[in-house]
Structure 1
Amino acid sequence: MKILISQPYHEENLQQLETDIALDADFDTVLYPEGYITNKVNVDKACALANKYHKMIISGYRDENRKDRALIINPHGEIILERAKTPMNDRLFTPSAADFDGNKIGYLLCVELLQGLLGLEKYAASLAYIAHPIGVGMFSDEQFDEWIAEAKKIALKYNTLILGTSHADGSYRNCGISIPIAYCIDRAGEPIFISKNDLRTRIINLETKEFEFIINE
């Protein structure tokens, strides 16, 4: 099971996704940030790309009200997880896991990371990994450290890997501060990698915990 983890810039089209998914490299899933897919028309385009290249796409999209929603598209171009984002202080919305090809994939959308210690229990025994699309980078070093620490707790509680990625640009409520983040934590709560202000695309093999950098020309 190999996943391409990208930190794209915000854009109205899917140019970066098209570039990444078409790479001549060995991977079966693409992990992109929350809100990268900006509308339902682009959701349809992403489904077509998934089907064309036979790759799963895990990301998030904006609905007609500019609200963020969860999204997983399987390699046949079919949506297998779609739901609203959980409001702060609510219990994690369901579904928060999807099944494909014998694997169960957990899902947390951006700040849902802080709600993830409750809500995934019924999936815990069978999670292959948890995907965590993040909207923009962290607004402080303290937030960066807090989110990594929370990801480690979640990996340990559910005995599974968790991996996340943000956009390369943008900031929380346009505060002007953004620390791009990408990471992968193993089931023992140990980092496979933690990326801070490092925008390189990676392909990670979840079985061997090895990864490689991909340079997009």
Structure 2
Amino acid sequence: MKILIIQPKLEKQVDQLEAELVNNPAVDIVIFPEGYLNENVEKACDLAKKFNTVLIGGYRRLKENPKDRFLIINRMGEVVFDRVKYGNTTLHTIEGLKTGHILCDELIVHNIKSEDFYDADLIIHPIGVGMFSEAQFEEWITEATKIATQSNTMIIGTSHADGSFGDTGISIPIAYCIDKDGLVVFISANDVRTRLLNFETREVYF
């Protein structure tokens, strides 16, 4: 199982996602940040079908409140899971993997219970903008590590390459993968390179 973790810049279209699929045609799953797709879910479905790849991340319905949602698009280009932020975190099976999902600050503020994810093979954590301080970066990594170990489950998170929370002007792009035993597979701060993870061997390629 090959999983591509991307950190695109915020954009009106999904050109960066398409470019990554062109450059990595053999991947099984692509994970992208919260709110990246904007109103481009239909285009993402077309890309998933064209490249025979599962797409997992977040999108934003600009005309609805709350805006942010988590979704999974299968290889056939079908949306097979879609939930609103702060909604139910039940597991979903895709490509034989039982997946849990945490959307951005749900990691900290949504009272996530590790037992909710205990049977999962993988927890996916799309993040919106980068961290606004080193302290926040450490807090989120610490919390993700706790959830991984208590759930006995790998967790992967990724944010956009740009953007700051609340117009603070500060953004530390973050991407990470913590294994089920709490060991770091990778942690990225201010390094927005795309990463390719071999799920079985835990090897990471740039």
TM-score range, shorter chain: over 0.9
Corresponding residue to 1:106 among 100, 103, 123: 100
| TM-score, length basis structure 1 | 0.89
Q: Note the 1:1-217 alignment, pairs <5 A.
A: 1-39=1-39, 42-63=40-61, 64-65=63-64, 67-86=67-86, 93-115=87-109, 118-119=112-113, 121-125=115-119, 127-213=120-206
Distance 1:74 1:8 in 2: 21
Contact 1:29–1:58, Cα closer than 8 Å, also in 2: yes
Change (3 A) 1:120 1:57: farther
Change (3 A) 1:189 1:101: same
CA drift of 1:118 comes to 3.3
Contact 1:85–1:109, Cα closer than 8 Å, also in 2: yes
Count of aligned pairs between the two proteins:
204
Contact 2:157–2:176, Cα closer than 8 Å, also in 1: yes
Unaligned runs of 5+ in 1: 87-92
Quote the residue 1:89 is aligned against: none
Letter in 2 for 1:23: N
Change (3 A) 1:195 1:123: closer
Distance 1:24 1:182 in 2: 19
Change (3 A) 1:111 1:15: same
CA drift of 1:4 comes to 0.6
Identity of aligned residues (%): 51
Change (3 A) 1:120 1:48: farther
Compute the RMSD of aligned alpha carbons. 1.6
- 1:161-189 deviation digits (Å, cap 9, x = unpaired): 00010001100011100000000000001
Distance 1:47 1:124 in 2: 30
| TM-score, length basis structure 2 | 0.93
Distance 1:120 1:83 in 2: 19
Change (3 A) 1:27 1:116: farther
CA drift of 1:21 comes to 1.6
Letter in 1 for 2:9: Y
CA drift of 1:115 comes to 5.0
Distance 1:48 1:110 in 2: 25
